[in-house]
Each structure stands twice: as C-alpha cells, then as structure tokens.
Amino acid sequence: MSYKKSCFNFVFKRKDNEVVIYNTFSKALIILTADEYQQFENDILVDTDIRTQLVENGILIKESFDEKGFLKYFHYKTKFSNDTLFLTIAPTLDCNFSCPYCYENRRPGKMSMEVQDAVIKFIENSVEQGIKKLDISWYGGEPLLYIDVLQSLAGRIAGIAKEKGCMLSMHMVTNGYLLKKDIIEMLDEVGVTRIQITLDGLKEHHDKSRPLRNGNGTFDHIMKNLSLFEDSPIEVVVRMNVDRHNYGDFKKLKEKISLLNNPNIEIYPSPVEDLNKDVVNELSDFMTTEEFETFTMKTCEEGSLSAEDFAVMDDRYCFCTAETENCYVIDELGDFYKCWDEVGRKEYKCFNILEPDSMNYTNISKFVANDPFADEKCNTCVFLPLCFGGCKFQKAHLKKSVCGFTEESLKKYLEIAYFQ
C-alpha cells in the first residue's frame, strides 16, 4: 500500500541525533534518530516497525486519504451539529464589583418572569427538534445577585432534561463574593458541577483590580469562601487574570490555594484583554500575546502549570462553541448573542426572544460563517487542527488574527509535556 506524509507533521530537532515528529491532527509524537528521519524524508525508510508506528499514529497516511478534507468535514459537522444546545444565561448584567478592565456595560435589573418563561420555551422547542444534550453556563454581571432567578431557571431546565431524557451539564462563572454554604449546596442540588471564580493574584493586586463598588477589597472574603467547598463535589476553577503588574503572583497564589487541601480546586492563568475600547482602563497593563506566551512557558518550566492546560493535546474540531449553530448567550432582557464577550452590546445582538421579527442574520451567522479553510494562511498552517483560526470575536470585532501557537512555543510545550 502506498503512503504519504501527513500535512500536519510538526518537526523539530531535540538533540544532535534526535528528531521529534508531532502530528497536530492525531496528537501523536514519535522520536526518530537523524538517520531514520532522513530515510523518512526521502521515502526510503527500511525499518518496518518504525514505518508501522508512523502509520498507526497518522504521521504517514494512505496516499488516497484526503486528510484536510476529512478535517474540514468534521469541522463543519461540529459547527452544524444538532446534538447539543449551548446556552450561557445571564440573570442580570448588574454586578457588586467595579473591575476597571470589565468590558461589560453594567446595568441594574434582573431577568423578568416573561423572559424566563420564553427561555424555557426556547429550550423545550430545541429539545423537540432533536437536541440531546443541554450545556448551560450561568454568567453575568454577577449571577448570584439574583439567586432566585438562577435557582428557578436551573430547576426548570433540570426538569426538562429529566422528562425528555436529555443529558445536562451546568457550569457557573461568578466573582465568588456572595457564595455561602447553603448556596453551594443549592447549586449542587440543581446540577451545577463546575464553578469558575476569578482572583487577580494576591491580595495587593487583586483588591486594586477587583474591588467592591464601594471600593473595599474582596480577596480575603473570596479566599474564605473557597474553603466552603471542602465537602462539596463541585469542581472549582480559579482563573487568575494576569497582566504586566501581577503575573509574578501566580505561583504564590497557587501555593496559597493548595493549602486549602481540596483536590477539586484548580487554578489557571488567563491574560487580561482590552475588549471594550469605550472603557478607559488605567490600572491594567495588558500583556501582548508574546508576553503571555513567555509567562506561561516559564510557569510550565517551573512546574506550576501543565502543558496540557494549553490545548496541545486537546481533541476538538472548532476553536470555540460560539462558532457552532446552536450556541447563544442570553442576557436579562432576552437578547441573544453569539459570544459572551458581546453580551449587553446592542450592536452585536442576534435577536430578542420576545420579538420574533428582531432577527439579525448577519450577527447570527458571522462566527458560524468564519471559515479557517477559506483563509489561505490558516488553510496551509500546520497548527490548523490545534486552533482552527483562533478567536472569532477578535477577528470579527477587533480585527485581530490571533494564532494560538508559534513554532518555538509548541516546541517548548511539547518538551514539557513529553520529556520532563
């Protein structure tokens, strides 16, 4: 049988006589000697065992196999799948914090019963049309400001899933300040399995960038609330927003969180991004993509992060669920958006659930229609199966093309993931 080299082979020399081939599609890694690699390159590889390994791991593929067409097919299949409905629900866009880098336009008020009923009807109709799994995220503003809305809607959604035999997963993003033991127990009861809480480093930095609206600090109270998860099955992901001021806190914050002795709590870093040009932000000093990459690399090398946290071995066919047809963010007014970075900004609205004639098909289709295979740079890139063209919000609204990897960064991630 005739074989050819995969177009997704990423090759680099590790030592004088060692060549690494990592396939970004199959996520397989093979190590060859310099002589073996030369034979591989010249299509004269004589060792049948090595050749078998290369075939089994997708580094050599059948001559007739349309590899890029196969990837493209599953990319489209994922985008237009009717299996899962992804909904991010914001019971309010109000917030008890006053974070200087926040991109949302905060406003008072909560989701009315009329909108709640319409959301439930939307979910019921989606299930009747073939949806088999409901993936629900609670968002804001601060969703715990109106715990009554969250509890009522979550209970009704759980009821639909049970009655119709749908799979259900629920997550929540909260600043963590309003958590109490009884609230955590309620969240567990309605089916929330994962909560993200943000800390912007240690107390000094966090209290400057994530204060209450009255200016008081929040770090100590959130740390106390993290201890309330001691007996809870809920997974807690602490997101540390990093910029040029606070990145040095990450290792110490991770050590502080580890003292809680709760294996269900983990931490990861994320760059603070300037997503709303209308907001003047004098406190955050945003990292460039390259600076954040340097930070994560160093943190991985120090052992405070795993390379797996950066999608090196992630198996997916889209960059983000916002690209898929059945994915929306719903605010308290019943306005639907495609991405939670858009929520509350009327120019990005897709439609309002109470207004059948409010459909903006341009906004509905802009992420779904964004095709990395139609982009010459993406289509010929060895990293295509890892990032699928990157963040569509940044491409569509900020006119930024964000490549997830560089050759040097992937080499370092692989070194950490496989050889340390």
The pLDDT tens digits of the residues spanning 285-319 come to 788 878 888 888 888 878 788 766 665 666 788 88
279 pLDDT band (50/70/90 cuts)? Answer: very low
**Are both 182 and 331 inside the same structural domain?**
yes
**Are both 143 and 280 inside the same structural domain?**
yes
**Domain that residue 59 falls in:** 1-65
User: Residue 390: inside a domain, yes or no?
Assistant: no
User: Residue 377: inside a domain, yes or no?
Assistant: no
pLDDT tens track for 196-242: 999 999 999 999 999 999 999 999 999 999 999 999 999 999 999 99
Q: Taking 50 as the threshold, does the pLDDT of residue 396 lie above it?
A: yes
**Are both 12 and 114 inside the same structural domain?**
no
> Strand locations in 148-288, DSSP E?
167-174, 192-198, 235-242, 265-271
Q: Of 60-69, 111-120, 129-138, 274-283, which gets the smallest average pLDDT?
A: 274-283
**Are both 96 and 226 inside the same structural domain?**
yes
> Strand locations in 254-301, DSSP E?
265-271
Q: What CATH number should be reported for the domain holding residue 351?
A: 3.20.20.70
pLDDT number for residue 301: 79
Give the pair of three-digit tokens for residue 288. 């460039």
Which of 396, 416, 388, 403 lies closest to 25 in space, CA to CA?
A: 388
How many domains are contained in the chain? 2
DSSP tag of 391: -
pLDDT number for residue 311: 54
Domain boundary among 365, 390, 409: 365
416 pLDDT band (50/70/90 cuts)? Answer: confident
Dist CA 37 CA 49 (whole Å): 14
The answer to whether the CB of 107 falls within 8 A of the CB of 140 is no
**Are both 27 and 89 inside the same structural domain?**
no
Dist CA 94 CA 141 (whole Å): 5
Residue 109: which H helix or E strand, with range?
none
Average pLDDT, the chain: 91
Q: Where are the alpha helices (DSSP H) in 129-171?
A: 147-164
**Are both 40 and 166 inside the same structural domain?**
no
pLDDT number for residue 339: 93
**Residues 6+ positions from 162 with CB-CB distance below 8 Å:** none
> What is the percent of the chain where pLDDT is above 70?
95
SS3 325: coil
The answer to whether the CB of 168 falls within 8 A of the CB of 136 is yes
Integer Rg of the chain from CA: 23
**Are both 86 and 191 inside the same structural domain?**
yes
Residue position matching structure tokens 């390994």: 53
**Are both 281 and 312 inside the same structural domain?**
yes
**Are both 42 and 94 inside the same structural domain?**
no
Q: Taking 90 as the threshold, does the pLDDT of residue 25 lie above it?
A: yes
Handedness of CA 259, 232, 267, 409 (dihedral sign): positive
Q: Output the CA–CA distances (angstroms, integers) from residue 140 to 33, 46, 96, 397, in the order listed.
A: 53, 60, 11, 21
Dist CA 305 CA 301 (whole Å): 8
pLDDT tens track for 101-121: 887 778 899 999 999 999 999
Dist CA 16 CA 11 (whole Å): 14
User: Residue 236: inside a domain, yes or no?
Assistant: yes
User: Residue 407: inside a domain, yes or no?
Assistant: no
pLDDT number for residue 280: 43
**Are both 94 and 240 inside the same structural domain?**
yes
